Amino acid sequence: DTEVTQTPKHLVMGMTNKKSLKCEQHMGHRAMYWYKQKAKKPPELMFVYSYEKLSINESVPSRFSPECPNSSLLNLHLHALQPEDSALYLCASSQRVADQPQHFGDGTRLSIL
Amino acid sequence: QKEVEQNSGPLSVPEGAIASLNCTYSDRGSQSFFWYRQYSGKSPELIMSIYSNGDKEDGRFTAQLNKASQYVSLLIRDSQPSDSATYLCAAEPGGADGLTFGKGTHLIIQP
C-alpha cells in the first residue's frame, strides 16, 4: 500500500469525453507531481506543484489541465485526448521540490478509444 | 540537455550473488540521486536516495555516488528472485526541475 492514493485505478474513455484523475496524500508534503509513463519507458514529468502553485509545465498539450485544490489534493483534468495519450499516469509527492525523494501512487492506467 | 544513462539489460544474476547496477548523468548541477524499483505493471518504489559522495547502505542495498565521475551505482547483496524488476536511476538538479529518469535496467535473478 502506498501513502499516495490515486483514483481511478483504470479508466477507459473516448476521444470526446471529459474525465479527471485524482491524487491525494496525507504526509504533509508540499510538492506534488504528475508523470506519464508509456510501456517499457521511464516516467516523464508533466507538471510540478509547489505549495499549491504550478511551478513546472513540461510543454504538455492543453488537453491535460492540472489543478491543485489544496496541499493534499492534485487533479488532472482530461479533455479531447488522443489514442497516443494512453499510458500509466503517476502522481508523486515530496516534502518539497528540491533534494527530497518522491513517493509515487499506484497510478491510473488510461486507455483512449 | 539533462540525461541519465543506464544499461537497459537484461542483467541476469544468480540467486545469492551481488547484483551491480550502474548509472551516469550529464548534468553536473545534479545534487540528489535516487534508485527506484518497478515491477511490471506497478508504480516505482523508492529504494535508496543518496546526496553526497561515497557509499550509503540500507539492508541488502548499497548506493554509491561519485560526483567527479558523474556516476551512481546500486549494489544488491544476496540477490533474491523477488529482486527481479526494472531499476530506475533518477537525478534531480538543484532547484525545482523534478526528476530525470534513466531508461531503467531490467534485472533478472535466476533461482
Give the separation between CA B39 and CA B45, rounded to whole angstroms: 9
Could you write out the three-class secondary structure of chain A? CCCEEEECCEEEECCCCEEEEEEEECCCCCEEEEEEECCCCCCEEEEEEECCEEEEECCCCCCEEEEEEECCEEEEEEECCCHHHCEEEEEEEECCCCCCCCEECCCEEEEEC
Residue B10 has which C-alpha cell? Answer: 537484461
Cβ of B44 and A48 within 8 Å?
A: no
Q: What pLDDT, on the 0 to 100 scale, is given for residue A24?
A: 97
B19: left (phi over 0), alpha (psi -120 to 50) or beta: beta
* Arithmetic mean of pLDDT, B4-28: 95
Q: How far apart are CA B43 and CA A43, in angstroms?
A: 10
Q: Touching check for B89 and chain A: CB below 8 Å?
A: no
pLDDT digits (tens, 9 = 90+) for A86-104: 999 999 999 987 778 899 9
Of A42, A98, A107, the CB nearest to B94: A98
Per residue in A32-71, pLDDT (tens digit) is 999 999 999 999 999 999 888 888 777 899 999 999 999 9
Over the stretch A11-33, which tens digit does the pLDDT of each residue have?
999 998 999 999 999 899 999 99
